[in-house]
Structure 1
Amino acid sequence: LMPPQTPACAGVFRNISLHAPAGCLVNARFPAAVAAGNVEASTRVVDVIMGALAQAIPDRMAAASHGSMNNLAMGSAAPGDSWDYYETMGGGMGASRETAGLSAVQTHMTNTLNTPVEVLEQQYPLRIRRYQVRRGSGGAGKHSGGDGLVRELGFLADAEISLLTERRLLAPWGLAGGRNGLCGRNLLNGEALPPKCHRRVKAGDVLTIETPGGGGWGHTDREKD
């Protein structure tokens, strides 16, 4: 929202105040359990701020993006054959007045790269059965939200998995008449998993992650008519 080439200096931020009362979500008191501040909590804080600004200046704001880094950690402590691996996955970007959202990308809070399938399969007892754009998961609108992705992993050995994901129950919102993006889904052998969970898996099991799409922006031409 700032002019192009705005310098990142103290003067720019002088008129912005941050209020985080002790005991709130982003200023927890010991011994409250905290986790994922730099992946999930920060992403949802962006959603809250953008949603608030959208009520005041909807023409200048984008719809909600997929709202999660879709974290997957897995591994095994088997003697002589231990391994561990952690990855995040992209989703749909929210659309804006100027453009449709990008598909299968990380948004807002990320510094992670995509691991090539060939490297993953060489190093770990895993097979990537599907890795594709989740067509139709972005919200419809004058400009459509970006689509999420589908990542399906087959296990060649027993392991443990931990999922830390958001936007599985509440969809990324559309803006200015645009439709919401689809919620994400986590499936183990076709059965739904909670957004946040730990499971033991066996060789032959299949884990499928379907990440959320981004919200659409603006009414479609058909809706206008």
Structure 2
Amino acid sequence: MNRQERLDFSCALFGPDGGLVSNAPHIPVHLGAMQDAVQYQMRAIEINEGDCILSNHPCAGGVHLPDFTVITPVFIPEHTKPIFFVVNRGHHADIGGIMPGSMPSNSTSINDEGAVFKSFKLVKDGIFQEKEVTAVLMAPGEFPGCSGTRNLHDNLADLRAQVAANQKGIHLVQELISNYGLEVVQAYMAHIQNHAEVAVRNLLRDVCMTTDGVLSASDKMDDGSVINLRVEIDSKEGSATFDFEGTSPMVINNLNAPRAITKSAIIYSLRCLVGYDIPLNQGCLAPIHLQIPKWSILDPDDDAAVVGGNVLTSQRIVDVILKAFKACAASQGCMNNTTFGDESFGYYETVAGGAGAGPTWHGRNGVHSNMTNTRITDPEILERRYPVVLKSFRLLPGTGGEGRYRGGDGVLREILFRKNLTLSVLSERRVFQPYGAEGGGPGSCGENLLLRHKGPVVNLGGKNFVNVNPGDIFQLKSPGGGGYGAPSSDGQLSLSKRRKVATFSARGSVFEFESQQEAH
């Protein structure tokens, strides 16, 4: 479901040093962190031809446990060491832990979040290690209050698909080498990385033309944790130090973000700031020196809970970076993670919201922004495969921030349950609004409500889990994006003119889609 319907996976190619060369335009939070995963395995174990390495531990370059990384070396005759690595990272619907879907809102340790792999040979000498990987997937059941994976069949099928995808990547790389020769291929891959490095250095020099080369910004998570950033740019070298000193200590909840996530956020933000098409690869980080205080929320202990760090804190890091560079207003700053299931299955989705406006553009309505780039499950698939009805899924007009350029609107999503299940929600921007920029207004906060069947309406807050019954409805309102610039004097020219282009009903459910025509 997560791969086929939501496209929650990423694929990339890495050089013999483990550095990112190129990638498909998939999930930003995956791609920047995958380099750390490859380089960790190169240091930790011997990787031979016929091996595939499985890893998800945050200290090994993982972003959170449900995202499984499979690393396969590329060998060619007369070379005893890998010449490249093909890698993919994909989300598994359930890998055990304290909550169906393995995205618990209340985890306080990595053991609460499911099965852990650090340097596991999923394929050894060409043989898929089904018995051994099954044992690890079931191991979380040994911890109090936890379960082993609830979807073993799906786990094994997805892992085999990840291995097969890497094999396809190997064949394509070998075909490229066969056509052009190894020396030419490696030279051009170095050129790609060098081009990205030069683009970032030029960007940093350009910033110094309008500033003194010192940028700063901070923002708060809903629990009050601060992410603080100071950027010092060397205009001569075209380099910069990203210093997160002053960021809050690691937390007892799961908002801790492994170091690899901060790298993902930086490489993504720099790629956006360059302003023209460059490949996202390790060259983007070559001019950057990173300083993160140890045991902060951005460099937690190895056993810290991190599931929220991947999907929530990562978004806030991007907001802070773009705020420091005065690039745009804040986007919704959240992935609105929704999970439900029981001991037989787990379902997980992320929900779109409003994007921030910028110096020359209105924010987009109802989109996944920044560190996430997934789709959402089609209503027909959702209702056919799971005991739910999608009651409503539409935009929420007016939730984007006011301004010369208006922030994008969030969405309303309502799910009716037809079975006793456990619902878990993991979200942000339910307390602090997405900020506006240069006089623009903030976007609206999100909200999570449970409409009990023949009962009260309950506010779930930003992070919670609850048992739901048939007839209960979960109502999620995602945040809007911040506006940019002070509104014009008549209060009208700043607004996008919207017109509804399609409305239809399915089983009593309402879906609305809107187009956006810019005001002149």
TM-score (ref. length: structure 1)? 0.89
Q: 1:183 to 1:8 in 2, by over 3 A?
A: closer
Query: Which residue does the alignment assign to 1:57?
Result: none
Deviation at 1:11, TM superposition (A): 5.0
Cα 1:3/1:187, change in 2 over 3 Å: closer
Runs (5+) with no aligned partner, structure 2: 1-272, 452-456, 492-520
CA deviation vs aligned residue, 1:101-132 (integer Å, no higher than 9, x gap): 00000000114211111111111110111100
Candidates 116, 125, 135, aligned match of 2:378: 116
1:107-186 correspondence runs (5 A): 107-186=369-448
Counterpart for residue 65 of structure 1: 331
Q: 2:301 aligns with which of 26, 29, 41?
A: 29
Name the SS of the counterpart of 2:422 in structure 1. Answer: strand
Identity of aligned residues (%): 40
Question: Post-superposition shift, 1:3?
Answer: 4.9
Higher helix share: 2
Give yes or no for contact 1:95–1:216 (8 Å, CA) kept in 2. yes
Task: Name 1:58's counterpart in structure 2.
Answer: none
Is 1:88 the counterpart of 2:350? The answer is yes
2:474 maps to what in 1? Answer: 207
Are the structure 2 counterparts of residues 202 and 173 from structure 1 closer, same or farther at C-alpha, using a change threshold of 3 Å? same
Q: Aligned AA for 2:410?
A: G
| Distance in 1 between residues matched to 2:405 and 2:370, nearest whole Å | 19
Change (3 A) 1:217 1:128: same
Q: Once structures 1 and 2 are overlaid, which stretch shifts more, 33-42 or 184-193?
A: 33-42
Q: Secondary structure at the match of 2:324?
A: helix
Q: 1:217 aligns with which of 476, 480, 484?
A: 484
d(CA) in 2 for partners of 1:156 and 1:11? Answer: 50
Which letter does structure 2 place at the counterpart of 1:4? Y
**Larger relative contact order (Cα-Cα within 8 Å, sequence gap ≥ 6):** 1
Structure 1: distance between partners of 2:465 and 2:426? 9
The TM-score with structure 2 as length reference comes to 0.40
Note closer, same or farther for the CA distance 1:87–1:6 as it changes in structure 2 (3 Å cut).
Answer: closer
Larger Rg: 2
Determine the structure 2 residue equivalent to 1:39.
311
2:320 pairs with 1:48: yes
In structure 2, distance between residues paired with 1:193 and 1:201: 12
User: AA paired with 1:201?
Assistant: V
In structure 2, what residue type is equivalent to 1:45? I
Q: Distance in 2 between matches of 1:90 and 1:221?
A: 28
The Cα of 1:163 is off from its aligned counterpart by 0.6
User: Are the equivalent residues in 2 in contact too, given 1:127–1:154 (CA < 8 A)?
Assistant: yes
Paired positions, count: 214
8 Å contact from structure 1 (residues 83, 124) kept in 2: no
